[in-house]
Structure 1
Amino acid sequence: MSTPHSIGLLLFPNLTQLDLTGPFEVFARAPGTTVHLIWKTKEPVISDRGMAILPSTTFADCPALDVICIPGGPGQIALMEDEETLAFIRRKSEQASLTTSVCTGSLVLGAAGLLRGRKATSHWASLEQLALLGAEPVSERVVRDGNIITGAGVTSGIDFALSVVAALYSDEIAQNIQLHMEYDPAPPFACGSPRVASKELVEKAAAQAALFIAKRLEATKRAASALFSAGRGRSG
Structure 2
Amino acid sequence: MNIAFILFNGVTALDFVGVYDAVTRLKTMKFIPDLKWDLCAFTEEIVDGTGLIFTPARVKESLEPYDMVIVPGGFGTRTLVNDASFIDWLKTAENSKIKASVCTGSLLFGAAGFLEGKSATTHPNAFRELETYCTVLDQRIVDEGDLITARGVSSSIDLGLYLCEKLAGFDAKEQIRKQMDYQT
Alignment partner, residue 35 of structure 1: 37
> In the TM superposition, what whole-angstrom CA distance separates every residue of 1:128-159 from its partner, at most 9, and x where no partner exists?
322211x1100111110121100100010110
Aligned length: 178
Alignment partner, residue 99 of structure 1: 99
Higher radius of gyration, 1 or 2: 1
> In the TM superposition, what whole-angstrom CA distance separates every residue of 1:17-63 from its partner, at most 9, and x where no partner exists?
1000111111111133222111124x331100111111121222667
Alignment partner, residue 12 of structure 2: 16
Question: Matches of residues 194-213 of structure 1 in structure 2 within 5 Å?
Answer: none
SS at match of 1:182: coil
CA distance in 1, matches of 2:56, 2:143: 27
Q: What is the identity percentage for the equivalent residue pairs of Structure 1 and Structure 2?
A: 29
Length-normalised TM-score, structure 1: 0.71
CA distance in 2, matches of 1:118, 1:71: 19
Length-normalised TM-score, structure 2: 0.91
Deviation at 1:7, TM superposition (A): 1.1
AA of the residue aligned to 1:23 = V
**Contact conserved, 2:106 with 2:122, CA < 8 A, in 1?**
yes
- The structure whose RCO (Cα within 8 Å, separation 6+) is larger is 2
**Contact conserved, 1:121 with 1:127, CA < 8 A, in 2?**
yes
SS at match of 2:182: coil
* Structure 1 runs of 4+ with >4 Å offset: none
Task: Quote the RMSD (CA, aligned, Å).
Answer: 1.5
**Contact conserved, 1:27 with 1:35, CA < 8 A, in 2?**
no
Alignment partner, residue 158 of structure 1: 157
AA of the residue aligned to 2:166 = A
Alignment partner, residue 112 of structure 1: 112
AA of the residue aligned to 1:104 = T
**Contact conserved, 1:14 with 1:73, CA < 8 A, in 2?**
yes
SS at match of 1:172: helix
AA of the residue aligned to 2:102 = V
AA of the residue aligned to 1:120 = A
SS at match of 1:132: coil
